[in-house]
Structures are given as structure tokens and as C-alpha cells.
């Protein structure tokens, strides 16, 4: 078991959960005043002081429209200044913000709205060709911009963030004293948000987080990444996910950083923004950085302002960590690990770590966080042994919204969050994430970890990208199958892959099947959706 309370990187740091979002907004407005907080894609900026005024105005309108303490209000929209304003207004009056994935279809969004009985939905008229209101109308049996929806009776208003709706919604107001009373009623224990899990293996579950923990984690994030007032952060990670939300604009708000929210990722536009606005902070999955480096005009842009970069995955190529320092010029380029259920963060890497350590581990746990690795019977394993990772501490969610049985299955009676990840803690205290527990391929009784196998096979000269999945086998129960995107101009056969693999890994890990693909189905953050991949390759096999 590892206890991070003695972590030298955070010695003396306050680990109490004592802040609220309205308190933080008031503090930064007074401290940073006219300093720009948000700069939109149109170049318009909102200062920290003006941000508080605009949040208060929208918060007052929410109260006037009947939103009570504890009510849920949803946002289904791409990154924008209005998204940040809406989320802050919701949380600042004790209501609960529910972000909805912009890739969701109408039925998926309706599920989240129905589950939380959301009172109001903030959305946009269109994004990537999607008319969200129309999609919801089709899924819910008819609706207007106001009034109940047939299948969503709790939903009283749909407010468009990108048109005149928002101004009209704010024409009503409340007495300043009433607004102040609602903001003062928010405590560190008040639920701030409900973030739905991906739902890749069933219906999504809504993880609840309090104001105290939802602000403590960004403060730790800022400390570990050396984020400072005056930094300029481009945010391409979607706000509906913790990487863009909690590790993005909330951490920037806490630190006094100027943010540049981007609705979509465009390599040339982002490179231009970095050069023009002297961006100093850029975070995202490995695909973001690879895409930037692959752009034919990458060398034409001045990236000298970049100071802090951060990426995340169970296994990040060492070459990417080296490129972060040597190609992009980051002073710091780090990795970390977290889950929605852990308020986005469990462990972080540090500047004194080697390239190999940063790439192959996810660092050490946060202060006050305990980790342990257990086997299938629940027995604690020694350092160096792999098993399920359990986490306990102030970052563990408050539970799943109105899912007591699911909550009890995830968080045991002693407060340990069962992550479902296979981990290993080394003698140096660094955590490695080997794979998801459900993704482990059991080959004739031996555990084969796809992430480990993928890291080895990425060294094959014909492989551009790879994903290992389990494949049924009459004799072994299941075996590894390699789904491969080939390097341009390369050819790869199963026989060649088998011969190469046998030289580099144990026999039970060697893929017994090879599927050549042009692309992988991915989440908005670039994570491969294995359940969709399995369906995709299964459809290619003759019946």
C-alpha cells in the first residue's frame, strides 16, 4: 500500500477541502481584475472582474427562472466562453452542473437529462452539422424552447448559448441580496457537478463531486504542473470531460491564467494561435501532439512561448515525451492518471522524473491519497505485483447519482474506490497502469495485458498504430488479436507479425489474429472504443 501523505513534492500543502466556486470567482475577480480570463475564438475577451459580473447576472436569471439549490442544469455544447459562464453560474448558486458529451446523439442526451431531471438545458443551434435541439426533439417526442418536453417533463427551458436566447433568458433578475444569500449557502460539501461515465459497457453513470474536492484537485494540478498567473492556456480538450473542464478552465480560474477555448481541433489553427497569442500551456492526449508535429508547416510557427505541456495515456511513447522537451520546447512535459470517479486525478509525474519514468508510469499519488493493489480475492499485493488498483482519499467521488447499488460496488465500506484498472506500484513509488481489468486477455490461464503488448508492437517498423483485443479461441479460451493501422507503403502479414512478436515477448502474448484497418473508432479525447472495434472487425469475417 502507498500513502502519499509524505510526498516530498507536496510537503506542507493544504489538503483540506475548504473552497467553493463562488468564493473562488469573487477572490480572483478582486485579485486579477482587468486581466483577461477568457479569450474567444473571435478575439473578444472577458476579464476576471467582468467574468464575475456576467456569472452573477446569469446566476440571478437562473434563480428567477426557478432553479433551486440542488437542481440539475445541463450543458450540451462545444467549448466556448459561454460554456464557462453557464457552468459557473449554475454551480455558484448551489445548483448542479451536468455536462453532456457533444458527440452524443439525441437519445443519449435524453438519457442524461431524464436521469438527472434537468430543469434547464444550455445548448447551441448547431455544431459539426448537428442541431442538438432537433436531435433531442426527435428522441423525446416534440418540444419547444420553453415548456416541458414530452419525455422530459422536468425540462422547462432550452437556452441557446450562441444566439439571442441567452440575452432574453437574462432579462429577468433577482434582488442582489437573494443572489448573495444563495451563493453564501454553497459550502465545500455542496455537490457541484455530475459527470457521466463513458457508458462503453452499459448505461452511463453520473459521478457526483463536491465543490471542495472539485477545487482541491485543480489546485494540486496547478502545483504539480507549475501553472502560474500570467500563463496563457489553449484548451482543445472538451469541457464535458474532466481534462478540459477541471484540469482546463477551472485550474486556470484558480491560478489566474488566461484561457483560449477551442470548439474543435485544427492543427494549423492551433499552431497559429500558439504563435500569435504566445500560448504557454497546452494539454491533451498524445494524438494532439502527434497531429501538430505531423502538420507540414509545423516548423513555420514560433512555438517558443510554450512552457508547460501535459499528456495522458497508460503508455505514452518515450519519443513523445522527448519531443515535448526537444521539438515543442516545453520546460515541463508531464503525464498523470485519473478517472471521472476520482475527480479527474489520482497521481502525477514530476519535473525531476526521467523521460522513461514519465512515459512508462503515471507518477506518484497526490497528497492524502492512498493506493493499494489487490488480487482477485481482495488480498493486498506487494510492490511490483500487478492487480486491481484501489484508491482512497479526498478525491474519491461522492457516489453515482441515485445509484446506491452501483456506488456500493465501486466504493467499498472502507472508502476504497475500485478503479477497474490493472496497476503496479514500483519500488520507487511510481504507479504503472497496465490496462483495464475488463480488457485483460486471459490466454490459457495467463494474463496478457493489451497495453503492454501494444507498447512492444509499436516498435515494429510496419505498424503506425495498434490495438490488442481479446478473441475467442476453442482451445485457449481467448487469445490476443492485433488490430493494426499500417505505416504508409508498408505491408504486414500474420506470419511476419508472429515471427517478430515471438522474438520480443512471451508466447502467450503473441497475437494469433491480425486485422488491418484504416482507422480506429475513438472517443472525442482519442481513446479507442474497443467494444466498437470488436464489432467492426467481427463484421469483416465471413459467416
Q: What is the DSSP secondary-structure string of 337-399? A: E--GGGTT-SEE--TTS-HHHHHH---EEPTT-EEEEE-TTSPBPPTT--EEEEEESTTS-SE
Nearest to 530 by CA among 440, 452, 447, 446: 440
User: How confident is the prediction for the chain on average, in pLDDT?
Assistant: 90
The percent of residues above 70 in pLDDT, for the chain, comes to 92
Q: How far apart are CA 353 and CA 358, in angstroms?
A: 6
Q: Which residues contact 538 (CB under 8 A, 6 or more apart)?
A: none
Looking at residue 6, its pLDDT comes to 45
**Average pLDDT estimate for 274-297:** 94
Residue 369 lies in a domain: no
Ordered DSSP codes for 182-208: HHHT--TTSEEEEEE---TTSS--EEE
More confidently predicted of 472 and 462: 462
Terminal C-alpha separation, the chain: 49
Count of structural domains within the chain? 2
Residue 164 lies in a domain: yes
Looking at residue 13, its pLDDT comes to 46
3-state secondary structure 276-342: HHCCCEEECCHHHHHHHHHCCCHHHCCCCCCCEEEECCCCCCHHHHHHHHHCCCCCEEEEEECCHHH
Q: What is the pLDDT of residues 195-231, one digit of tens each?
A: 998 544 456 899 999 999 999 999 999 999 999 999 9
More confidently predicted of 111 and 61: 61
Nearest to 390 by CA among 427, 416, 368, 423: 416
Three-class SS of residue 96? strand
Q: How far apart are CA 183 and CA 177, in angstroms?
A: 10
Using left for φ > 0, alpha for ψ between -120 and 50, and beta otherwise, residue 202 falls in left
Looking at residue 7, its pLDDT comes to 55
DSSP letter, residue 474: T
Residue 327's pLDDT band, with cuts at 50, 70 and 90, is very high
Q: How far apart are CA 327 and CA 157, in angstroms?
A: 48
Q: How far apart are CA 129 and CA 224, in angstroms?
A: 39
Residue 101's pLDDT band, with cuts at 50, 70 and 90, is confident
Q: Where among 173, 190, 212 does a domain terminate?
A: 212
Residue 357 lies in a domain: no
Calculate ∠ Cα 309-275-245, nearest 5°: 45
Q: What is the pLDDT of residues 365-414, one digit of tens each?
A: 988 899 999 998 999 999 999 999 999 999 999 999 999 999 999 999 99
Q: How far apart are CA 363 and CA 353, in angstroms?
A: 9
Looking at residue 71, its pLDDT comes to 98
The percent of residues above 90 in pLDDT, for the chain, comes to 68
Residue 455 lies in a domain: yes
Looking at residue 313, its pLDDT comes to 65
Judge contact between 305 and 278, C-beta under 8 A: yes
Q: Where among 212, 231, 260 does a domain terminate?
A: 212
Looking at residue 202, its pLDDT comes to 54
| Residue 379 grid coordinates | 488480498
Cα of 336 vs its chain's centroid, Å: 11
pLDDT of 36 higher than 90:
yes
Residue 355 lies in a domain: no
Dihedral angle sign, alpha carbons of residues 246, 199, 108, 209: negative
Which range has the worst mean pLDDT, 58-67, 235-244, 475-484? 475-484
Q: How far apart are CA 293 and CA 299, in angstroms?
A: 9
Using left for φ > 0, alpha for ψ between -120 and 50, and beta otherwise, residue 66 falls in left
Three-class SS of residue 286? helix
Which spans in 76-198 are helix H?
81-92, 106-116, 132-140, 165-169, 176-184
| Residue 62 grid coordinates | 437562473
pLDDT of 116 higher than 70:
yes
pLDDT of 514 higher than 50:
yes
Nearest to 469 by CA among 492, 488, 445, 443: 443
Range of the domain at 116: 21-36+44-212
Q: What share of the chain is helix, strand, coil (3-state, %, to 5)?
A: 35, 25, 40
pLDDT of 315 higher than 80:
no
Q: How far apart are CA 73 and CA 18, in angstroms?
A: 24
pLDDT of 130 higher than 90:
no
DSSP letter, residue 67: P
Judge contact between 51 and 38, C-beta under 8 A: yes
| Residue 111 grid coordinates | 438519457
| Residue 384 grid coordinates | 511490483
Q: How far apart are CA 334 and CA 324, in angstroms?
A: 9
Looking at residue 524, its pLDDT comes to 61
- What is the CATH number for 134? 3.40.50.12780
270 CB-side CA count, 13 A: 25
pLDDT of 502 higher than 50:
yes
pLDDT of 318 higher than 50:
yes
Looking at residue 151, its pLDDT comes to 79
Looking at residue 128, its pLDDT comes to 81
- Stated as kind and residue range, the H or E segment containing 310 is strand 308-311
Looking at residue 240, its pLDDT comes to 93
Cα of 487 vs its chain's centroid, Å: 29
Residue 183 lies in a domain: yes
Residue 422's pLDDT band, with cuts at 50, 70 and 90, is confident
| Residue 513 grid coordinates | 489474429
pLDDT of 148 higher than 70:
no
Three-class SS of residue 277? helix
Looking at residue 141, its pLDDT comes to 58
Which range has the worst mean pLDDT, 182-196, 251-265, 461-475? 461-475
Judge contact between 234 and 260, C-beta under 8 A: yes
**In Å, what is the CA distance from 537 to each residue of 130, 471, 497, 531?**
28, 11, 18, 10
Judge contact between 155 and 123, C-beta under 8 A: no
Beta bridge partners of 374: 380, 388
Q: How far apart are CA 424 and CA 434, in angstroms?
A: 7
Q: What is the pLDDT of residues 348-357, one digit of tens each?
A: 988 888 888 8
| 27-31, 237-241, 372-376, range with greatest mean pLDDT | 27-31
- What is the CATH number for 485? 3.30.300.30
Q: Where among 153, 178, 212 does a domain terminate?
A: 212
Residue 497's pLDDT band, with cuts at 50, 70 and 90, is very high
Three-class SS of residue 447? strand
Residue 299 lies in a domain: no
Burial class (CB in 10 A: 0-12, 13-18, 19+), 50: middle
Looking at residue 9, its pLDDT comes to 52
**In Å, what is the CA distance from 235 to each residue of 73, 195, 204, 341?**
23, 19, 25, 22
Residue 293 lies in a domain: no
pLDDT of 319 higher than 50:
yes
Amino acid at each position: 500500500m502507498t500513502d502519499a501523505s509524505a510526498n516530498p513534492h507536496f510537503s506542507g500543502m493544504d489538503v483540506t477541502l475548504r473552497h467553493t466556486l463562488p468564493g473562488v470567482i469573487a477572490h480572483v475577480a478582486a485579485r486579477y481584475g482587468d486581466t483577461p480570463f477568457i479569450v474567444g475564438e473571435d478575439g473578444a475577451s472577458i476579464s476576471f472582474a467582468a467574468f464575475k459580473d456576467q456569472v452573477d447576472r446569469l446566476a440571478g436569471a437562473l434563480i428567477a427562472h426557478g432553479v433551486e439549490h440542488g437542481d440539475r442544469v445541463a450543458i450540451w455544447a462545444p467549448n466556448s466562453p459561454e460554456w464557462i459562464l453557464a457552468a459557473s453560474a449554475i454551480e455558484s448558486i448551489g445548483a448542479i452542473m451536468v455536462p453532456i458529451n457533444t458527440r452524443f446523439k439525441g437519445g443519449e442526451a435524453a438519457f442524461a437529462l431524464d436521469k438527472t431531471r434537468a430543469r434547464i438545458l444550455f445548448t447551441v443551434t448547431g455544431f459539426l452539422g448537428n442541431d442538438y435541439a432537433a436531435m433531442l426533439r426527435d428522441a423525446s417526442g416534440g418540444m419547444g424552447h420553453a415548456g416541458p418536453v414530452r419525455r422530459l417533463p422536468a425540462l422547462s427551458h432550452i437556452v441557446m448559448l450562441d444566439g439571442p436566447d441567452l440575452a432574453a433568458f437574462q432579462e429577468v433578475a433577482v434582488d442582489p441580496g437573494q443572489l448573495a444569500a444563495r451563493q453564501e449557502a454553497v459550502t465545500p460539501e455542496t455537490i457541484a457537478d455530475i459527470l457521466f461515465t463513458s457508458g462503453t459497457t452499459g448505461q452511463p453513470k453520473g459521478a457526483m463531486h463536491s465543490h471542495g474536492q472539485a477545487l482541491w484537485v485543480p489546485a494540486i494540478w496547478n502545483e504539480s504542473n507549475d501553472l502560474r498567473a500570467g500563463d496563457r492556456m489553449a484548451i482543445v480538450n472538451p469541457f464535458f470531460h474532466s481534462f478540459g473542464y477541471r484540469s482546463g478552465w477551472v485550474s486556470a480560474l484558480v491560478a489566474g491564467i488566461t484561457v483560449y477555448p477551442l470548439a474543435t481541433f485544427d492543427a494549423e489553427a492551433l499552431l497559429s494561435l500558439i504563435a500569435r497569442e504566445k500560448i504557454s500551456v497546452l494539454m491533451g492526449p498524445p494524438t494532439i501532439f502527434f497531429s501538430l508535429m505531423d502538420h507540414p508547416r509545423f516548423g513555420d510557427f514560433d512555438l517558443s512561448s510554450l512552457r508547460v505541456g501535459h499528456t495522458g495515456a497508460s503508455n505514452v511513447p518515450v519519443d513523445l515525451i522527448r519531443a515535448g522537451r526537444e521539438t515543442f520546447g516545453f520546460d515541463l512535459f508531464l503525464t498523470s492518471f485519473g478517472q471521472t470517479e476520482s475527480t479527474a486525478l489520482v497521481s502525477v509525474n514530476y519535473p525531476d522524473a526521467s523521460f522513461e519514468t514519465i512515459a512508462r508510469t503515471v507518477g506518484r499519488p497526490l497528497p492524502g491519497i492512498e493506493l493499494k493493489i489487490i488480487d482477485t480475492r481482495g488480498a493486498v499485493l506487494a510492490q511490483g505485483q500487478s492487480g486491481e488498483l484501489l484508491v482512497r482519499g479526498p478525491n474519491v467521488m461522492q457516489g453515482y447519482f441515485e445509484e446506491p447499488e452501483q456506488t456500493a460496488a465501486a466504493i467499498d465500506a472502507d472508502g476504497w474506490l475500485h478503479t477497474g484498472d490493472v496497476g503496479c506500484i514500483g519500488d520507487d513509488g511510481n504507479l504503472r497502469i497496465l490496462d483495464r481489468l475488463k480488457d485483460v486477455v486471459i490466454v490459457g490461464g495467463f494474463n496478457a495485458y493489451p497495453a503492454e503488448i501494444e507498447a512492444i508492437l509499436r516498435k515494429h517498423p510496419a505498424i503506425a498504430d495498434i490495438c490488442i483485443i481479446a478473441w475467442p479461441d476453442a482451445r485457449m479460451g481467448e487469445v490476443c488479436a492485433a488490430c493494426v493501422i499500417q505505416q504508409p507503403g508498408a505491408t504486414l502479414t500474420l506470419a511476419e507479425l508472429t515471427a517478430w512478436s515471438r522474438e520480443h515477448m512471451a508466447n502467450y502474448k503473441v497475437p494469433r489474429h491480425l486485422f488491418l484497418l484504416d482507422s480506429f473508432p475513438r472517443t472525442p479525447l482519442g481513446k479507442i472504443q474497443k467494444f466498437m472495434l470488436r464489432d467492426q472487425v467481427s463484421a469483416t469475417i465471413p459467416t
